[in-house]
Chains A and B, each alone.
Chain A
């Protein structure tokens, strides 16, 4: 494997990790708010917060990891994206800041505040929407180099059907991933009322997820024919994604094996995400940055890969410990431990 392919695969893995853990978090925020409006919050919120409390900070790190790694492996991205994304990037930051800090405040009484719950719920949908536009921009057409200056065409982005289809997909995916995980978690906690509510959410967001995906494919065909063609070549990956989706929905429907159902959801998004990423290559930003011509120099690449492997040896056991102590600890999940 070429080192730059290795580099981008690592980064993609972390972005995928962020996609899953952050979706659970973002969706949970939205459901908390929704349930509060419907006066059902007493059913679900204890469960949601028992899960989120120890992991929210870890969620954030996945994103930072991706951004820092991208600049380390492909320094040109800093120049193009950095110049173009001042406004959208800053807005996304503000949303992340509100959510992250208010999450910590919430542990000390802010939970009763409607304003807080509103911010918590709405940022849960706005953040994925704003982050997903970076993927749209990477398709090309929204950043242009004119006389040596980088110009970001915000208006075209806002008026483009493809960019809206991606936003839509991001939001419904978040809600689907989150609900399917929380359903599984509720069963582990033997919390039947919460399980009923969350299973309903999962099932009702499954169909929009697929519809939004189809919509993305159709608009991508219009927007980036080059990308659509390479997607067709990797059609099996998207087929696999659909296959896992149907199994997940089947399991949720028949109220069986929610753990498996969530694994299938992870596979569904894993295949789709890797299929999307692989078909996007060699471009990181069409047509300005490809993985070959922007890669950092070989010594740095070696050092980064070394650092990555060493870091992973530290991370994996730690993450395992975290999961063992909270996610798969029966006493903690049910709310009786600590």
Chain B
């Protein structure tokens, strides 16, 4: 590996995106849960759920701020690090980028209103209604920005002749073949991850011995949505597999170390690859890859040898794919076990809390793994089939210094964010607030 501008630019972009998606995922998912908790609280006339929404919202402000500023970073870095790419692609993806800022604008306005109008209206539904535009705005910006990424995977809606882009169809570029599965998978997994993070906080309090009914309500509430969004994410993930088989077969083949085109293809779990590209130590599930790819156990799945060697994606993406899918399954099983014990009405074993607590960070890890899988799996292309990543990179020097600068910045942000969040909740526990507000 050579540490040239190209490599450093890739690293800086990955680092910014990798840091941003933590906060972006929370930014998309948590508003929905806040909105649902407040709605349930008002409907059932249960102040505990309203307090839940309120306390979540308080921490959300911190994460949303980092989401906004790191989002600004990636927005600008696209042009700073990949100017040739933006000059070409900017002509086609200008529309969704532009629409994304509108969605973001909309969200920013109503988030401000929502956060600063608690207790301002006699009718609780008025305050609650301000959360809806926040949910719509955050889902909207996720939608638009994901269409941009989808476009990079399956570029459509233009013609490229001698480096000149012509015949642009903006709407077709936006609604490209990758858009539906990508957007739905991003949304569902963001909701799942946020629900699990909030659930793991409640689980942590219960494990520590907090007995107030508030925590139990919080946990059951979040676990319900974990189960719902977990199943949804898995179903959409299956569609994504079928999408890959049809439109990006080399990515699926690399993810599954599937070298020879064949019928009745095996799905490979775990394992490692020898120097000669032989798979060792893996569990093979017969027919499962054909089933995943085409919904038919005997279907033919394209292998990597059908593609030019220099167009292969890196083969390490197999591990990321397994990690993502494995965690996804874990995230469905844990809520099921939780509800099983809840139904049995005996004491919840502490082990369950531990699994739930682990689920939050694991879900975020799956988000990271999934994104690295999808991005690295598109290499060597920046615009699949049109432009190699190496041709989009800046000609400026000093990317190394900028990489150092931003590493430092994100480090400081991460530490400060965690510190502020911990202090925020430690200085004002839920019990104290329940007493102060007199809601018992």
Contact = CB atoms under 8 A, between A and B. Distances in A.
Is this pair of chains taken from one and the same complex?
yes
Interface of A: 53-55, 57-58, 60-61, 63-65, 67-69, 71-73, 75-76, 78-87, 89-90, 93-94, 96-98, 100-105, 107-110, 149-150, 152, 296-297, 299-300, 303-304, 307-308, 311, 314-315, 318-319, 321-322, 325-326, 332, 337-338
Contact of A297 (B91, B394, B409): B91
B14 interface: no
Contacts of A104: 61-62, 64-66
Interface residues of B, number: 73
A150 B106 CA distance: 37
Contacts of A57: 64-65, 68, 108, 111-112
A314 B102 contact: yes
Contacts of A108: 62, 420, 423-424
A315 B87 contact: no
Contacts of B92: 300
Contact of A64 (B72, B83, B84): B72
A71 B79 contact: yes
Interface string B96-120: 0111111011101111110111111
Interface in B413-429: 413, 416-417, 420, 423-424, 427
A98 to B, nearest CB: 8
Nearest to A63: B72
Contacts, number: 217
B321 to A, nearest CB: 32
B101 A64 contact: yes
Contact of A315 (B88, B91, B105, B171): B105
Q: What 6 A-B pairs are tightest by C-beta distance, nearest first? A: A72-B94, A104-B65, A82-B83, A54-B112, A82-B79, A78-B86
6 contacts: A67-B75, A71-B94, A108-B424, A300-B168, A315-B102, A338-B119
Interface string B393-419: 011101101100110010001001100
B98 A337 contact: no
A89 B76 contact: yes
B433 interface: no
Given A105-B420, A325-B113, A68 B86 contact: no
A60 B76 contact: no
A320 to B, nearest CB: 10
B170 interface: yes
A58 B76 CA distance: 18
A71 B75 CA distance: 11
A152 B396 CA distance: 9
Nearest to A318: B109
B90 A78 contact: yes
A269 B187 CA distance: 42
B95 A60 contact: no
A296 B94 contact: yes
A109 B423 contact: yes
Contacts of A311: 98-99, 102, 105
A319 B61 CA distance: 20
Nearest to A105: B420
